[in-house]
Amino acid sequence: MVKDEKLEDRLLKLLRLVAPGTPLREGLENILRAKTGALIVVGDNPEVMELAEGGFAINADFTPAGLYELAKMDGAIILSEDCRKIIAANTQLIPDLIIPSSETGIRHRTAERVAKQCDAPVISISQRRGVITIYKGTLKYFLRDISVILAKANQAVQTLEKYRSVSDKVINELSTLELQEAVTLFDVARAIQR
């Protein structure tokens, strides 16, 4: 159970990084809408930088538009751990080939291996499939499209509104019965059930 909690905490931390409304998520969505692929590493620790070869040192403040523009080039983009700086772009990542990967595409295979080797979040955006996959260690998570998330949230809110309406009706009926001194145990139980 402790392992599951740690896994859940790691997943939540990862999802906070790319949550809707964050600058990073905005940049990822821009890349996705443009049907451009990308490979993004979040973390510039020495272990990550040791795997990076070539490219350009950027060291500029992070902006969603900047991320989008840099994704037009081949190669990986390296962000600072707090996602406030774009460290490098157009870099080639060379992870250890001994690390197993279940992915078939080069971008996703590299992302999975780098994530396992460095335990840093690595985001891979598939140009053809239009899917954002995030890796960290052995964790792999597909980000859902924001429109799907909003539709589900809207559906949940509507369901809660229905429950609230029914609950309010039962409580009003119970109040009326109380004023008439005609409340039964069944009426109270029905109100509690709602």
Q: Name the residue ranges covered by the structural domains of the chain.
A: 2-143, 149-193
Q: What is the pLDDT of residue 42?
A: 95
Which residue, 73, 65, 81, 70, is CA-closest to 29? 65
Written as tens digits, the pLDDT of the chain (194 aa) is 445 557 778 788 888 888 888 999 999 999 988 888 899 999 999 999 999 999 999 999 999 999 999 999 989 999 999 999 999 999 999 999 899 888 888 899 999 999 999 989 999 998 888 789 999 988 898 887 767 667 878 888 888 998 888 888 888 888 888 888 888 888 888 778 77
Residue with tokens 């490979």: 39
Structure tokens at 129: 């499939």
Which residue, 110, 105, 103, is CA-closest to 128? 105
Number of helices (H) and strands (E), helices first, in the chain? 7, 8
What CATH homologous superfamily does 2-143 map to? DNA integrity scanning protein, DisA, N-terminal domain (3.40.1700.10)
Q: What is the pLDDT of residue 68?
A: 94
Q: What is the pLDDT of residue 4?
A: 53
69, HSE (Cβ side, Cα atoms, 13 Å): 8
Amino acid identity at 48: V
